[in-house]
């Protein structure tokens, strides 16, 4: 479900340059002795006072030094986080989802983390994380000062924050204490505190313990914390069984779980995984032969996350998962460490009706009501994880005036299959695409009573292939009106009409209506050979019911923090 976009803002480089320009101007004014704010008698007396003596300067230096040392030791006024609690830390305070009536129907509890011992993990898994995230991990005391210097120079050249220097220990500190070290706040104070906590962790734990804690706490997307949960979530196997190419993919995800999500962005994920393998090869932890063999492997990610294994059937589970994906894109893992109230557009009555109707229609198809059915039958008693080769379906119910998604069903049984066919599956719409052809024709001046040729015809495709479309019943009527051709879903007249008004115009209208997938520029596009999702199709059709006005489907109305403030 697509959400509204934030307004334009300055880039980090532009913000840095603006701040520097302002500071330089104020410094110049102060140096010249003019333009200083709030100038008055007190300021003049300060300017005319005698300079500080050596004794006064010494006392001032000692006071500032003691104050600075005290603040460093205490991690500021609030004191340092208790790193002794690190081993027992568990994420909690999950955000909750509320329907349009304000009633809770789901929460965003993260996948339960199963802690694994470091010695049980394969060396290539440990090497992947250390090499990419912190190659001098075993040689520094929590802060890599060489990396800090390089990052500082790179940021000065870029005029903003283009490179970080977080070590594995600093990342662990940030993940364990998100309230004190919020990752989204890139401030000097947070970085200093992060360094302080990292040093304390290094004093309390040895390197193997730190790496084990890191691998068991780091976030990998989809609510999965730790390598064991991530291995189950993406590969349906234990972390100790991960191959080199799978370990490299998990190491790639740490940089941005939502950005490199292998299900949502497979090309980005593969590119990042291959980068991890190249770095491992360059640092000599794997041979060039192993690196090349791993790069040749597919991502190997499960098409869908593992199914829910127990508990009562959730309410609107596919809707909740679609909302979760949107929240992760916008807020990252904060949705699992903060207690947010997410007000959605879900209408429980519409949701129940959609689920019941889908169930009824699928059963009717299997019984042969619409013709002989060949295929596996759905069995609700099949265990979670069983092969879902039976008939599936999806439903989207949307308010055409506002774009509110009132109900969403992404499959037949969320317990057995969590793949969301309403938002993520792309299928050819077939004859459902034809209204876009006729809409363009009407806009071009065609009358509903105007005749179209319904005779056999051929069309030349790219590569010299010849295509001869046929009507569904195999019969031709000579001529048929525009109205009848649409009502009776005639294939040949529709293709002729699409060629007459211009395929480009038809494709342009389809895209303007909300179809974002691949729409081939071939004669067959008039018969729905594009790849679209049910949600996109519902959004596009809303324009026909809404006087030609397009609406963007969305499922989140607003988000409130525990304090009551509106975040979105």
Residues designated as active site: 133, 431
Q: Token pair for residue 445?
A: 């001046």
Alpha carbons 296 and 273: distance in angstroms, whole number: 11
Residue with tokens 């508990």: 311
Residue 385's region, left for phi above 0, alpha for psi from -120 to 50, else beta, is left
- Find all residues with CB under 8 Å of 534, minimum gap 6, and list them: 394, 395, 396, 421, 422, 423, 425
- Angle (deg, nearest 10), helices 207-217 and 227-235: 40
Distance set, CA 64 to CA 1, 50, 189 (Å): 54, 21, 17
The closest alpha carbon to 384, from 489, 232, 248, 245, belongs to: 232
Q: Token pair for residue 335?
A: 């949705």
306: Cα separation from own chain's centroid = 18
Q: Token pair for residue 66?
A: 């003691």
- Find all residues with CB under 8 Å of 399, minimum gap 6, and list them: 345, 406
Distance set, CA 405 to CA 66, 322, 351, 512, 531 (Å): 59, 11, 10, 19, 21
Q: Is 70 exposed, middle or buried (0-12, 13-18, 19+ CB in 10 A)?
A: exposed
CA gyration radius for the chain? 30
Distance set, CA 90 to CA 120, 151, 217 (Å): 21, 32, 9
The closest alpha carbon to 497, from 457, 467, 466, belongs to: 457
Count of all residues that appear for the chain in the document: 568
Beta strand pairing status for 405-409 and 341-344?
A: unpaired
- Do 174 and 194 form a contact (C-beta atoms < 8 A)? yes
Beta strand pairing status for 459-460 and 466-467?
A: antiparallel
Which secondary-structure segment (H or E) carries 228? Answer: helix 227-235
- Do 68 and 60 form a contact (C-beta atoms < 8 A)? no
- Find all residues with CB under 8 Å of 102, minimum gap 6, and list them: 343
Beta strands in 178-265 (DSSP E): none
DSSP string, 147-182: HHHHHHHHHHHHTS-------HHHHHHHHH-TTTS-
């Amino acid at each position: 479900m697509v959400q509204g976009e934030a307004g334009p803002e300055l880039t980090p480089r532009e913000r840095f340059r603006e701040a520097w320009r302002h500071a330089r101007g104020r410094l110049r004014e102060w140096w010249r002795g003019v333009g200083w704010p709030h100038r008055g008698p007190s300021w003049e007396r300060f300017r005319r006072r005698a300079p500080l003596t050596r004794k006064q300067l010494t006392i001032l230096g000692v006071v500032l030094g003691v104050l600075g040392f005290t603040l460093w030791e205490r991690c500021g006024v609030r004191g340092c986080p208790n790193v002794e609690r690190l081993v027992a830390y568990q994420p909690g305070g999950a955000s909750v989802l509320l329907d349009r009536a304000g009633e809770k129907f789901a929460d965003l509890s993260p996948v339960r983390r199963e802690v694994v011992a470091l010695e049980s993990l394969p060396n290539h898994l440990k090497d992947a994380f250390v090499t990419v995230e912190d190659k001098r991990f075993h040689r520094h005391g929590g802060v890599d000062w060489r990396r800090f210097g390089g990052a500082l120079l790179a940021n000065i050249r870029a005029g903003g924050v283009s490179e970080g220097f977080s070590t594995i220990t600093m990342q662990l500190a940030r993940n364990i204490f998100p309230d004190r070290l919020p990752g989204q706040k890139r401030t000097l104070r947070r970085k200093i505190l992060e360094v302080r906590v990292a040093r304390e962790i290094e004093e309390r734990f040895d390197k193997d313990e730190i790496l084990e804690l890191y691998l068991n706490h780091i976030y990998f997307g989809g609510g999965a914390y730790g390598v064991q949960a991530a291995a189950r979530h993406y590969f349906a196997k234990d972390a100790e069984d991960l191959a080199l190419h799978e370990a490299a993919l998990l190491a790639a995800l740490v940089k941005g779980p939502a950005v490199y999500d292998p299900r949502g962005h497979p090309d980005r994920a593969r590119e990042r995984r291959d980068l991890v393998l190249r770095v491992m090869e360059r640092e000599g932890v794997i041979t060039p032969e192993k690196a090349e063999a791993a790069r040749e492997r597919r991502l190997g990610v499960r098409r869908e996350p593992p199914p829910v294994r127990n508990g009562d059937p959730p309410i609107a589970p596919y809707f909740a998962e679609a909302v979760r994906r949107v929240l992760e894109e916008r807020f990252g893992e904060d949705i699992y460490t903060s207690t947010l109230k997410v007000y959605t557009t879900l209408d429980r009555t519409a949701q129940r009706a959609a689920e019941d109707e889908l169930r009824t229609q699928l059963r009717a198809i299997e019984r042969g009501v619409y013709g002989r059915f060949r295929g596996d039958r759905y069995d609700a008693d099949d265990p979670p994880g069983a092969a879902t080769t039976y008939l599936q379906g999806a439903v989207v119910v949307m308010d055409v005036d506002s774009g509110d998604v009132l109900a969403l069903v992404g499959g037949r049984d969320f317990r057995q299959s969590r793949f969301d066919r309403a938002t993520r599956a792309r299928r050819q719409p077939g004859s459902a695409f034809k209204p876009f052809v006729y809409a363009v024709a009407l806009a071009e001046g065609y009358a509903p009573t105007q005749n179209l040729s319904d005779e056999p015809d051929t069309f030349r495709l790219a590569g010299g292939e010849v295509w001869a479309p046929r009507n569904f019943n195999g019969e031709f009527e000579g001529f048929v009106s525009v109205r009848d051709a649409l009502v009776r879903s005639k294939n040949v007249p529709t293709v002729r009409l699409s060629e007459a008004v211009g395929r480009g115009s038809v494709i342009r209208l389809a895209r303007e209506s909300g179809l974002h997938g691949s729409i081939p520029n071939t004669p067959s596009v008039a018969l729905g050979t594009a790849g679209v999702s049910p949600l996109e199709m519902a959004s596009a059709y809303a324009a026909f019911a809404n006087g030609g006005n397009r609406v963007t489907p969305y499922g989140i109305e607003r988000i409130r923090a525990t304090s009551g403030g509106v975040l979105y």
